[in-house]
């Protein structure tokens, strides 16, 4: 736990760990990877009808190309397919850098450009590798321990990290092995012979940045070769620490920071938005408001990293827009 939180919160700035501790505790105590029910499955079906009942339109697999700004206010969005949606309020969950640099971009008012310049000085969180594994057993899958495994090659976390980032053949700086199927009580009924496993470790975006201009699934052979090598090494670690699945792996796929860049629009393939440095927490730019009227930010860059951090960002944004203390209201409602 210390290792991961050191990575997310303070490395590489090497700020005393104790300063990150409250944030780390907040993250770890809610970590969805510990959940026992697959609640993510229910988020969209629960929320979308409310949006539609209120007259909203839900567009999926739809990319916003531009936030439309007229004078000093945001008036809507233009999608990549050319459609335009106009609204009284625009809330962006795409991350502050993407919002200011890409979605407002060149014609931005001076106030936005100066915020964007300050935000560019804040480092991004680390990139990661994730090996997504599917195992199929000839008969009912054995029971796996649902607890996550954290494996560190030594207690010197910073050294482990810099060693791997200097040489991808060095030991992985840590391994986080998680067992989503073992945490889901309905999984065995739905997929009796299977298990799903994820192995995550940290890696610097710079190892992959030279292929950033290539297209997903059509990346050059050199990239695929690095991926294959890393995946093969991660599989060896899986068999070492979870021998039950050796010989049973029927599917695996490795994501790199380029995958995170592609799927989540993270500018540097970062796992958690802006790094949790003291500079970030001192920044007065990271709140729901932007210099453009009617344009608000939300998500992890407004709150803190992780699902719960993003949720706190959402509550902060809702409180600002509605001028009500939504944190208090949620606490009261869940009493």
Ligand X SMILES: Cc1cc2nc3c(=O)[nH]c(=O)nc-3n(C[C@H](O)[C@H](O)[C@H](O)COP(=O)(O)OP(=O)(O)OC[C@H]3O[C@@H](n4cnc5c(N)ncnc54)[C@H](O)[C@@H]3O)c2cc1C
- Interface with ligand X (CB under 6 A): 31-33, 63-64, 93-94, 98, 103, 130, 260, 264-265, 271-272, 299-300, 305-308, 310
Alpha helices in 71-198 (DSSP H): 96-97, 110-120, 157-166, 180-183, 187-190
Closest CB to ligand X: residue number: 299
C-beta of residue 178 within 8 angstroms of C-beta of residue 106: no
Type and span of the H or E element at 138: none
Taking the least distance from each CB to ligand X, the nearer of 199 and 242 is 199
Residue in 240, 40, 276, 249 with CA at minimum distance from that of residue 153:
240
Nearer to ligand X, 66 or 118 (CB): 66
List of residues 6+ apart from 98 with CB closer than 8 A: 92, 265, 266, 267
- Is 44 or 322 the residue whose CB approaches ligand X more closely? 44
Quote the least distance from Cβ 221 to ligand X, whole Å: 25
In the complex, minimum distance from the CB of residue 180 to ligand X, in angstroms, rounded to a whole number: 10
Smallest separation, CB 137 to ligand X (Å): 25
For residues 124 and 264, is the Cβ–Cβ distance under 8 A? Answer: no
- Nearest residue (CB) to ligand X, 92 versus 165: 92
HEC sequence for 27-50: HHHHCHHHCCCCCHHHHHHHHHHH
Q: Is 218 helix (H, G, I), strand (E, B) or coil?
A: coil
Closest distance of CB 38 from ligand X, Å = 13
Closer CB to ligand X, residue 33 or residue 321?
33
Q: Which is nearer to ligand X, 156 or 206 (CB)?
A: 206
Cα dihedral 57, 61, 65, 71, rounded to 10, equals: 20
What backbone torsions phi and psi does residue 154 show, to the nearest 5 degrees? -160, 175
* Least distance to ligand X, CB of residue 177, Å: 13
Tell me the closest approach of the beta carbon of residue 93 to ligand X, in angstroms: 5
Minimum CB–partner distance for residue 215 and ligand X (Å): 17
Reading phi first (left if > 0) and then psi (alpha if -120 to 50, else beta), residue 27 is in alpha
Q: Which is nearer to ligand X, 24 or 300 (CB)?
A: 300
Residue number with CB closer to ligand X (93 or 158)? 93
238-245: long-range contacts, CB 8 A cutoff, minimum separation 24: 238/131, 238/133, 238/177, 238/197, 238/199, 241/149, 241/151, 241/175, 241/177, 242/144, 242/149, 242/177, 242/197, 244/142, 244/144, 245/133, 245/135, 245/195, 245/197
In the complex, least distance from residue 130 CB atom to ligand X, rounded to whole angstroms: 5
């Amino acid at each position: 736990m210390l290792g991961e939180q050191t990575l997310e919160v303070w490395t590489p700035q090497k700020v005393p760990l104790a300063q990150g501790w409250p944030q780390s505790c907040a993250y770890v105590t809610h970590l969805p990877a510990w959940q026992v029910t697959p609640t993510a499955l229910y988020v969209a079906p629960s929320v979308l009808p409310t949006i539609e009942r209120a007259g909203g339109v839900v567009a999926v697999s739809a990319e916003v190309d531009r936030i439309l700004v007229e004078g000093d206010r945001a008036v809507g969005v233009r999608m990549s397919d050319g459609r335009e949606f106009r609204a009284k309020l625009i809330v962006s969950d795409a991350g502050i850098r993407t919002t200011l640099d890409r979605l407002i971009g060149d014609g931005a008012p001076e106030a936005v450009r100066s915020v964007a310049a300050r935000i560019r000085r804040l480092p991004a969180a680390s990139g990661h590798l994730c090996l997504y594994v599917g195992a199929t057993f000839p008969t009912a899958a054995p029971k796996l321990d649902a607890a996550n495994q954290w494996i560190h090659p030594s207690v010197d976390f910073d050294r482990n990290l810099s060693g791997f980032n200097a040489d991808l053949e060095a030991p992985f700086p840590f391994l986080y092995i998680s067992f989503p199927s073992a945490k889901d009580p309905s999984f065995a009924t739905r997929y009796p012979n299977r298990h799903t496993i994820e192995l995550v470790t940290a890696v610097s975006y710079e190892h992959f940045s030279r292929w950033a201009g290539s297209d997903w699934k059509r990346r050059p052979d050199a990239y695929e070769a690095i991926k294959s090598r890393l995946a093969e090494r991660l599989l060896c670690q899986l068999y070492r620490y979870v021998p039950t699945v050796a010989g049973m792996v029927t599917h695996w796929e490795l994501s790199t920071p380029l995958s995170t860049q592609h799927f989540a629009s993270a500018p540097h393939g970062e796992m958690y938005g802006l790094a949790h440095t003291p500079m970030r927490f001192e920044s007065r730019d990271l709140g729901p408001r932007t210099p453009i009227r009617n344009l608000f930010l939300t998500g992890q860059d407004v709150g803190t990293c992780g699902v719960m951090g993003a949720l706190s960002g959402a509550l902060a944004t809702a409180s600002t827009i509605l001028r009500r203390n939504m944190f208090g209201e949620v606490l009261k409602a869940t009493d």
